[in-house]
Amino acid sequence: MPASNITLRDIYLARQKIAPIANKTPLIHSGWLAERADVPVYLKLENVQETCSFKIRGAANKLLNLAPDERERGVITVSSGNHGRAVSYVACRLKIRAVVLLSEAVPEVKRRAIQKLGAEVIVRGETYDQAMEHASRLQKDQGLVMIHPFDDPLVIAGQGVIGLELLEDLPEIDTAIVPLSGGGLMGGIALALKTAHPGIRTVGVSMERGPAMVESLRAGRVVDIVEQPTIADGLAGGIAPNIYTFDIIQKYVDDTVLVSEEEIAGAMAFALEKHHLVVEGAGAVGIAALLYEKVERLGQHVAVVVSGGNVDLSLLLEIAERNRRKDK
Ligand SMILES: *Cc1c(COP(=O)(O)O)cnc(C)c1O
């Protein structure tokens, strides 16, 4: 199926399918960010989603659509952490065998959560791409079904359900600011929003350190990047090889911006202090983009997707404390 064949209908079907497993998440007004940006700003809280990230939406849609013999064989995935946790959670509920490949870069808090759910966890390689290579081999050897973290029509449609919820809760939405890595999240949301109303501005946010999709957009083709350590560990990893998301992002995303490690930390501290929200680095990049005025031509009804909250609490407190001292 070419990328252009994923439609709004697939996203509606996904919504129906995943309703028993993934929650509809709250959309809250942020007075603090509204003041900063001088327009109403809303936060879409996927950090309070089941498994603490939106990844459960795509994982549920994919696993619930497996054929009986595929369920029998079991699934394998590679993940920067949150997708692995989501796949494990859903597989466990559906009694499907799950193998999760993680690189050494995945934080321990994420690895432990996956193991607790009962998946078979294998830590291999220094980067996401190295873990992916090993996963591809294992998948072939053992006849498992690969559950790709972003480059899969069912996964993209699952994440796109967030777009439907945004349209429902904020019908006037004219700007969507969304964390961007492999592009399953941004691709699904942008597809839903742009199909409903082409005038809605879609802005993807990545970290300065190794933004694979942004580099690829600039080059006009999928390029390899060097993975670097980042506080936004949920955004780490390359996008090659790529069948679906690069095309969708190229087609439906208006603009991309980059945020620094400092800015991401500032946004995590902001979310904790002002909103009492636990947000991981990857989940905070949209807030950072607004907080540090990276987005040009903001509309009048802005929604920011806060994509996840899986962060080591002592690290978060340290970041908050550091930022408090800086502010004084
Ligand atoms: C996976 C992830 C992203 C990026 O999603 P893509 O579909 O890869 O672009 C953003 N935030 C969090 C918390 C994630 O886990």
| Helix locations, 143-255, DSSP H | 153-169, 184-196, 212-219, 245-252
> Considering only CA atoms, which residue is closest to atom 4 of ligand 1?
181
pLDDT grade for 116, boundaries at 50, 70 and 90: very high
pLDDT of residue 131: 92
As a whole number of angstroms, the distance between CA 156 and CA 256 comes to 19
Instruction: Tell me the C-alpha distance between 6 and 175, whole Å.
Output: 22
79 C-beta closer than 6 A to ligand 1: no
Q: Give the model confidence (pLDDT) of 265-279 as tens digits.
A: 999 999 999 999 999
Verdict on whether the full-model pTM lies above 0.85: yes
Q: What are phi and psi of 145, to 5 degrees?
A: -95, 125
Pocket test for ligand 1, best of 50, 132, 185 (most atoms within 8 A of CB): 185
Q: Measuring from atom 1 of ligand 1, which residue has the nearest CA?
A: 234
Set out the domains of the chain in order of their start, with CATH numbers.
Answer: 3-53+153-327 (3.40.50.1100), 56-146 (3.40.50.1100)
The pLDDT of residue 305: 99
Which amino acid type is present at position 190?
A: A
Tens digits of residue pLDDT in 174-229: 999 999 999 999 999 999 999 999 999 999 999 999 999 999 999 999 999 998 99
Q: Which atom of ligand 1 lies closest to the CA of 46?
A: 13
Is the pLDDT confidence value at 3 over 90? no
What's residue 102's pLDDT?
94
55 Cβ closer than 6 Å to some ligand 1 atom: yes
β-sheet with 201-207: strand ranges across: 27-29, 41-45, 302-306, 175-179, 201-207, 255-259
